[in-house]
Amino acid sequence: MPRCRCPSPGRSLCLASRGSSSVSVISVVFMMVDAIAKAKGISINTVNFKAQIGKGNVPVMLAKPQTFMNSSGESVGAIVSYYKIPLKQVLVIFVHP
């Protein structure tokens, strides 16, 4: 079962990024975020900042940007800025083909 630990009590952001046009690569990365969400009881049910976002009762926010990797900074930057998440608390999950 995946573990997602926060380095401090503030909200952290875990996100997946589309790294390739390959459906299998995207699926693997998003499945990892979905597994973390399931383990932590987080429902990824909001669409905002060009991403699917999930927040729960734990200090973790999960995001699945709906842009390609080269444009995912638009989504990530907006989320980090809006929620004032320190960069050291951002975990990016990606697969390099």
The one-digit pLDDT tens for each residue of the chain (97 residues) are 334 444 444 444 555 444 445 555 567 778 888 998 999 899 999 999 999 999 888 888 899 888 876 788 888 899 999 989 998 888 887 766 5
Q: What is the pLDDT of residue 13?
A: 53
Q: Which residues contact 10 (CB under 8 A, 6 or more apart)?
A: 59, 85, 86, 89
Residue 31 per-residue DSSP state: H
Q: What is the pLDDT of residue 25?
A: 59
How far, in whole angstroms, is CA 5 from its chain's centroid?
14
Alpha-carbon distance 46 to 56, whole Å? Answer: 12
Q: What is the pLDDT of residue 18?
A: 47
In a 10 Å sphere around its CB, with 0-12 CB exposed, 13-18 middle and 19+ buried, how is residue 69 labelled?
middle
Q: What is the pLDDT of residue 60?
A: 84
